Chains A and B, each alone.
Chain A
């Protein structure tokens, strides 16, 4: 029983990261039709930005907690800046050429990872986090590492904020309308391009946040960590239905839990296979994912 609780909470922690990455991917795809491979780069910006700020920028701050928080904020700001630059400089000139946009983000991802490897080397960097995160809390007999709560909490807050933003604000309305029918929104005289930059920044911050949390979860950061997370986020996006935040959240939890359970009760590595199998089944049964019917057939 205690193992099951531990697996569940850990799975939710992993699912939290998948959700943070998938939500941005899903919004960007829903609105702009771009599969953003550079999302992996945004994750790396978040994790390396935080690591760099901890060791070079804020190393004067004595309290580990505040040093970590300040560095994480720095990482997120970097994520936002990089995402905005990518959209403005590379995506915008290729407007409406979806294949080229995807290709550019692929090139960017490869070049960026190579650059990070070139500057800081391929070895993992240790993440310095408040010691409290490495302690455990007992729940139903299971020793749960405290960082899992933070990951779940952050993802839940992001989910609520995103939903509030999408449902209660004018820009949220434009984005939701744009996901459903972009041409109609433009025909009504609304400049969707601002919304494009905005979703990129939102996606970039969420991905950078996932990068910071992955550093906490795995205890270190390495250049290609983002890529492996990204692949599962892609699976989450397809299963959840492209363009749906709620679908992404549900799919992220399902995928992460299935992965955790089968990796433990089956054999190591089997979880990843089962997730891919799940993807195949979902595609055969519902090619548009869980929430596909709501979003409409742009997949």
Chain B
């Protein structure tokens, strides 16, 4: 590994995460950006959910941005983490760590089975099938046949079983650090995975699946790897989400939840680690702040026609998203980096030591 890559991929992120870890020590307030001082529980809780969504967006980017798999069912795995860990703790009265291990294990199995079935099809059909599986999960959580999820009421976590450091408003800073640890964990795992040799195949599949097949590899195996990694990381994120919000509600099971992750990744830049993370953080922050602005007096004075759209953050974010798709392919990250070598070319160079002077036509950018 070249020294520059080492610094760019490991040292810089480490510096950023260490600096972020110091945020709870900032006892001043930043007007306009936050209502309360930075170290206050309110602001830290907002920042923690930004970080969790940054991490969740990155887990989605593994399959969408790095492998070219457009799943509309990622919410299923987040929901699995959110609900299963809570059900084990609160309904079955298990202790904390066995519940966590159980949740991760089940997610791994579910991701393998459903991934195996849905990867029978490709492209848009894959999107629809994953959507259907996620919908089945959403219906299961809503109808609650075993009285585990408590349907629309949601399931509040039994706080006596949770580690004490994560309970109560005084411990919000610990939850912030937990969220940050999750983000850092996902960031480095994804860095390691996409630069490993299977990871390079994922990126080649994104660019041209047929040529990967021609090179003698079986795309489905690699796609399943990417899908399982992405989904399992999402389930771990779901556990953090459950701790952060102190329980489970149906919102995470909805198809809209997956679409929100998709919006985050595309706004930030698909296939870019920083892009996905920034997209997740920015989206969550704006979603929260736009709601506050929408109900503020400045907007309240506007005529009805202008006020109504401004009160709906999802409307504004949807419009921003459409504008980015049309005018800024590559998202925010696309503004910074351009012209890096494509995954396919790197793979072909690796397969044929002679290099790629064979005169093969350049692969078309489809992702």
Interface residues of A (CB under 8 A from B): 29, 33, 35, 90, 93-94, 98-100, 102-104, 106-115, 117-119, 227, 231, 234-235, 237-238, 242, 267-270, 272-273, 275-276, 279-280, 283-284, 287, 299
B262 touches A111 (CB 8 A): no
- A-B pairs, top 3 by smallest CB distance, nearest first, are A111-B318, A269-B143, A114-B314
What CA separation (Å) do A112 and B131 show in the bound complex? 20
Name the residue among B122, B145, B325 with the largest chain A CB count within 10 angstroms.
B325
A283 touches B117 (CB 8 A): yes
B259 touches A118 (CB 8 A): no
What CA separation (Å) do A223 and B131 show in the bound complex? 20
Question: Of all chain B residues, which has the CB nearest A280?
Answer: B117
B326 touches A99 (CB 8 A): no
Mask, B31-74, CB within 8 Å of A = 1, is 00000000000000000000000000000000000000010000
Q: Say how far B129's CB is from chain A's closest CB, in angstroms.
A: 6
B319's partner among A99, A111, A242 (CB-CB below 8 A) is A111
What CA separation (Å) do A231 and B329 show in the bound complex? 27
B125 in contact (CB, < 8 A): yes
Q: Say how far A277's CB is from chain B's closest CB, in angstroms.
A: 8
CB-CB < 8 A to A269: which residues of B? 139-140, 142-143, 145
What CA separation (Å) do A272 and B143 show in the bound complex? 11
Stretch of B6-14, B168-176, B305-313 that contacts chain A = B305-313
**Chain A interface helix/strand/loop/mixed:** helix
Mask, B131-156, CB within 8 Å of A = 1, is 11101100110110100000000000
CB-CB < 8 A to A93: which residues of B? 326
B121's partner among A33, A231, A237, A299 (CB-CB below 8 A) is A299
CB-CB < 8 A to B308: which residues of A? 115, 118-119
B160 in contact (CB, < 8 A): no
B262 touches A234 (CB 8 A): no
What CA separation (Å) do A237 and B127 show in the bound complex? 12
CB-CB < 8 A to A98: which residues of B? 124
B263 in contact (CB, < 8 A): yes
What CA separation (Å) do A93 and B326 show in the bound complex? 8
B120 in contact (CB, < 8 A): yes
Question: Of all chain A residues, which has the CB nearest B320?
Answer: A107
B241 in contact (CB, < 8 A): no
What CA separation (Å) do A108 and B263 show in the bound complex? 11
B125 touches A242 (CB 8 A): yes
CB-CB < 8 A to A237: which residues of B? 128
A273's partner among B136, B314, B315, B326 (CB-CB below 8 A) is B136
B70 touches A99 (CB 8 A): yes
Name B92-111 residues within 8 Å CB distance of A. Answer: none
Name the residue among A102, A112, A284 with the largest chain B CB count within 10 angstroms.
A102
A35 touches B127 (CB 8 A): yes
B355 in contact (CB, < 8 A): no
B325 touches A100 (CB 8 A): yes
With A102-B70, A284-B117: A238-B125 Cβ-Cβ less than 8 Å:
yes
A272 touches B136 (CB 8 A): yes
For chains A and B in complex, what number of residue pairs have CB atoms within 8 angstroms? 130
What CA separation (Å) do A29 and B127 show in the bound complex? 13
With A35-B124, A107-B263, A284-B117: A114-B312 Cβ-Cβ less than 8 Å:
yes
CB-CB < 8 A to A114: which residues of B? 312-315, 318
Q: Say how far B74's CB is from chain A's closest CB, in angstroms.
A: 13
A107 touches B325 (CB 8 A): yes
B315 touches A234 (CB 8 A): no
B286 in contact (CB, < 8 A): no
CB-CB < 8 A to B259: which residues of A? 106, 109-110
CB-CB < 8 A to A29: which residues of B? 124
User: Can you give 8 A-B contacts (C-beta < 8 A)?
Assistant: A98-B124, A107-B322, A110-B256, A110-B321, A117-B312, A234-B132, A238-B132, A269-B139
A283 touches B121 (CB 8 A): yes
B78 in contact (CB, < 8 A): no
What CA separation (Å) do A287 and B124 show in the bound complex? 12
A103 touches B315 (CB 8 A): no
Q: Say how far A197's CB is from chain B's closest CB, in angstroms.
A: 18
Q: Say how far B335's CB is from chain A's closest CB, in angstroms.
A: 17
A107 touches B321 (CB 8 A): yes
B125's partner among A111, A275, A276, A299 (CB-CB below 8 A) is A299
A107 touches B121 (CB 8 A): no
B219 in contact (CB, < 8 A): no
What CA separation (Å) do A119 and B305 show in the bound complex? 9
What CA separation (Å) do A235 and B319 show in the bound complex? 28
What CA separation (Å) do A268 and B104 show in the bound complex? 29
**10 additional contacts, CB 8 Å, given A234-B132, A276-B136, A284-B117?**
A90-B326, A102-B70, A106-B263, A111-B317, A114-B314, A115-B315, A118-B309, A235-B132, A270-B145, A279-B132
A103's partner among B121, B132, B266 (CB-CB below 8 A) is B266
B162 in contact (CB, < 8 A): no
CB-CB < 8 A to A99: which residues of B? 70, 366-367
With A35-B127, A111-B315: A100-B329 Cβ-Cβ less than 8 Å:
yes
B255 in contact (CB, < 8 A): yes
What CA separation (Å) do A267 and B127 show in the bound complex? 28
Question: Of all chain B residues, which has the CB nearest A281?
Answer: B117
Question: Of all chain A residues, which has the CB nearest B321?
Answer: A107
CB-CB < 8 A to B251: which residues of A? none
B363 in contact (CB, < 8 A): no
B318's partner among A35, A107, A235 (CB-CB below 8 A) is A107
What CA separation (Å) do A99 and B65 show in the bound complex? 11
B163 in contact (CB, < 8 A): no
What CA separation (Å) do A93 and B127 show in the bound complex? 23
CB-CB < 8 A to B313: which residues of A? 114
What CA separation (Å) do A33 and B70 show in the bound complex? 14
A102's partner among B124, B125, B136, B256 (CB-CB below 8 A) is B124
What CA separation (Å) do A268 and B122 show in the bound complex? 32
What CA separation (Å) do A280 and B132 show in the bound complex? 9
